[in-house]
Structure 1
């Protein structure tokens, strides 16, 4: 353990590039060359070997030239906690495998719910935002279907209910739609900027291909609340069922936050489950300068927060939070060898968290967050998030002042979309430069930048999540982008000249 820490410390101190810059075929050959069937080589040699193979070829998120994806440098106390939880090997699915670990995770869930405004809420730690979003939509599906079934039962008995679902049930049991029929009517409403996990969840939940309805956005890429209301009315008119609305607090590409307060009002009026995907932006709850951007989040039914993004935690560290603890009921499945139903009914029942999780065996990832909060304090973490958001604002202003760069929109968080647009190149050529620049820089190891497409046009993307990165650091990356772009254009000019000369 000590030798690994010493080796890693040295690598963190001396890393000169964001990535190894080694050719993929060479990396594949190095991996394939390891004989996994041979006799063991011993601890020291095995650790030296993985240091050479893995650490020497890692992508370093702490390096100032890494500005690509939503990967953060991690808080050192969380790394120490990671070693502790891995060595003890706790599983927090049942209390008899975890004891105090379950209680600590429950405390963190209650703490997070308190900051969200979820009095009486509940939650569970997950592997990441994709799993959190999947479970939120699973719970929405099951609770909506249960509500439809209850309403149908009431209709059969001739009872009335002022709080009936937006759509009535059939008049007789024999006329009832099957579960498959009901599934085909369910709709999820989200913008085209919502995370891809929303569409993946719809597929995994057995919904139809047209289940995800795209809600228009305003000019900044935020969900248009009036368009959302119109979409809900259209769904109603077509005898479909709105299963959930997914608002995004921090879109992956634009880094903007949907108008949560207004959206919540629309959802409450329509009696529709509102899920807020705050995987990226959830940390703003603790950011002194920007917490107001999440106004209205406490009116959501469920919320996703990724602590391994804006709380600087090692992956994995995500959580799904639910405003009403009773909505977790569809997840519960009892097994005698794990969480017997009879024991669950006891007055002093053990808190078995497998009742609320899609996972059975589950790491005690909450320990990392707990340790970081105690070491650094939530206020300091929030200030660090404000720092990276301020950096994005400064970088955007820097780019807007340079004639050979084009900037798209303004982020609420820490992303910046831009393009290299020299006066000598037309728009089509600038489009072609985007993936080429990214690829050249990544393969050289000099900088890691992301790319995306907005409205059919490619853009380079900076995702700034390192509070130690400065404007000067990002300026150096932009200089590399500019030099690389000019180098590609010069190579094309030379190739064209050679071709013309050969033809002549």
Structure 2
């Protein structure tokens, strides 16, 4: 670590040299100038000083000295690299003293101190960022001497013999080495092994054993790079590989490399999607991605925002519909509202009821509309439920239809539902979090006919399109800035109205949250790489494989479809040998319902595959297999049928 040297102005020569002052005079003079001096790094004679850029103002310096150059204008390349070993800029023949640097800073204002410089402050020390280069640790903080020292003597204290902090804050060489090693682990263990059919989907451990293997305790002392890499390997080893071709458990699976690249860039830049000034690229990108999604819905204009999941998108829709009907509720709250009623089916996502509870409407405000045997809303019963709610004194305000239900994969008849909403003056929300990506397919988009008549649509590209968690869009047909009017609070420290650019680009007030992660880049980058046609093929392939699987089940003994799949949800029972031909037994359904949990335990503990199961209405437990991974082939479908037969042959 380089030490710190206190540099005095030339008018105060060292003691013992011609013109030097007596000891007492020197001490008094030193006290007078000490508050004006700065602590500057003491470089070896052979190494030139490297000062970071000064905060930009008129005439700002880049570095220091007689040959210092002005900082570049926006769009121009920087005058030199951030590494001192690659400086093309001519250096001054003589290093400026600390006081000279201080004078330059004062010309620019006190807040324009060069990096690595301490400025005197009225109350304690005022420190700019420590001076760093690729081969040194950051300077440690200077501490005051103590109460017995005069105040002026406490302004600047030397700490040249302090030990460097055992941290990468900030050693670029060590940081780069760590990240390269971590990325290497990710490529080997996740991208290669995690997507290989010859590897396990998961390596199951019981909770107590897993705690011991991971060593989760957080301690006061840091760990070495080697230990950190071991931690990363352990986390990956014992995590479920959702990118694996035998992972059928959730509505998301697979791994798109372009989307992953977007996620890496997003996390590296670590910005928030609320103002144009800190996220200019992503504000414009989000606007374009949302415009494209709205066009697929069938709208030429509208609004939208990326939300942290489909549940929040649905909740936003309920809140927007309520605000549009009763705008006073934003200020006056629930006391400004009559009893409200919203309508959906039992097949809807559970976030509708959770959203009603969270927004203060209560779960009783959710009126359940009947669905047919395939899980589709019955429009005639919707009409009846609306009339019943009005008769009970409630005010209907929203209907939530579903395109792609969670279990059965059903699509509600949107045209007929839209007719009811239009007659009754109700907001129509379509939860297409799962099924929205079908709009990309010219072959299958008829399943969402009528969606263009909706007022709002929730769509999760992180599911069927494999954009990666999370990527959830709420789309609105509204063009009156309803999102900002409903959710905005106009925080003056973020959304100043006198900014130097169009403040309409500050989209933060569209969301309830303040900090908002960037979710558009992964979808945009994937779309750029695949194109709309590539994404359409991805959707069509999922439909084709689901149909192939269903037809293969019909050919094998022991597999029974719950219903013909309309989407990529394939729901079925595996009937073990002991129950075949015994459908007439009184306990058949009860015994059959116990099969799926046993098979699930076996497949997970072996790590061969993962398939979800659940009861549904009067039906006992059955498997719900999701065909969404774009890497799947017919061979994977054949494997899962063979594997279920192997795992259940003794049941």
TM over 0.5: yes
Tell me the equivalent position of 1:429: 591
- Report the RMSD for the aligned CA atoms in angstroms: 2.1
Within 5 Å, give how 1:287-302 maps onto structure 2: 287-302=441-456
Decide which of 252, 258, 271 is 1:77's aligned counterpart: 258
Tell me the equivalent position of 1:41: 223
1:3 aligns to what SS in structure 2? helix
Decide which of 553, 562, 568 is 1:408's aligned counterpart: 562
Is 1:25–2:25 an aligned residue pair? no
Cα distance, 1:226 vs. partner? Answer: 1.2
1:167-214 per-residue CA deviation (whole Å, 9 max, x = no partner) reads xxxxxxxxxxx8536656111211111001111101101112311111
- Unpaired runs of 5+ residues, structure 1, are 150-177, 490-504
8 Å contact kept, 1:184–1:207:
no
8 Å contact kept, 2:338–2:395:
no
8 Å contact kept, 2:440–2:536:
yes
8 Å contact kept, 2:302–2:475:
yes
Decide which of 161, 177, 185 is 1:7's aligned counterpart: 185
Within 5 Å, give how 1:119-138 maps onto structure 2: 119-138=300-319
CA distance in 2, matches of 1:248, 1:299: 14
8 Å contact kept, 1:438–1:460:
no
Is 1:448–2:610 an aligned residue pair? yes
Query: Higher helix fraction: Structure 1 or Structure 2?
Result: 1
- Structure 2 CA distance for partners of 1:102 and 1:64, relative to 1, 3 Å: same
Tell me the equivalent position of 1:330: 486
Within 5 Å, give how 1:12-161 maps onto structure 2: 12-15=191-194, 16-31=199-214, 33-46=215-228, 48-146=229-327
Give the aligned length.
456
1:255-291 per-residue CA deviation (whole Å, 9 max, x = no partner) reads 1111111111111111101110111111111123212
CA distance in 2, matches of 1:86, 1:209: 37
CA distance in 1, matches of 2:300, 2:279: 26
Cα distance, 1:475 vs. partner? Answer: 2.4
8 Å contact kept, 1:288–1:386:
no
CA distance in 2, matches of 1:397, 1:436: 25
1:210 aligns to what SS in structure 2? helix
CA distance in 2, matches of 1:111, 1:355: 22
1:425-457 per-residue CA deviation (whole Å, 9 max, x = no partner) reads 233211111212112211221110101111232
- Structure 2 CA distance for partners of 1:36 and 1:390, relative to 1, 3 Å: same
- Unpaired runs of 5+ residues, structure 2, are 1-178, 580-587
1:110-134 per-residue CA deviation (whole Å, 9 max, x = no partner) reads 2211221223300001111011111
1:188 aligns to what SS in structure 2? strand
- Structure 2 CA distance for partners of 1:186 and 1:148, relative to 1, 3 Å: same
8 Å contact kept, 1:247–1:274:
yes
CA distance in 2, matches of 1:27, 1:184: 51
- Structure 2 CA distance for partners of 1:138 and 1:43, relative to 1, 3 Å: farther
Cα distance, 1:400 vs. partner? Answer: 2.3
Structure 1's consecutive aligned runs of 4 or more residues displaced over 4 angstroms after TM superposition are 181-184
The two structures have a TM-score, normalised by structure 2, of 0.67
Is 1:438–2:600 an aligned residue pair? yes
8 Å contact kept, 1:396–1:416:
yes
- Structure 2 CA distance for partners of 1:486 and 1:24, relative to 1, 3 Å: farther
Cα distance, 1:146 vs. partner? Answer: 2.7
Within 5 Å, give how 1:369-408 maps onto structure 2: 369-408=523-562
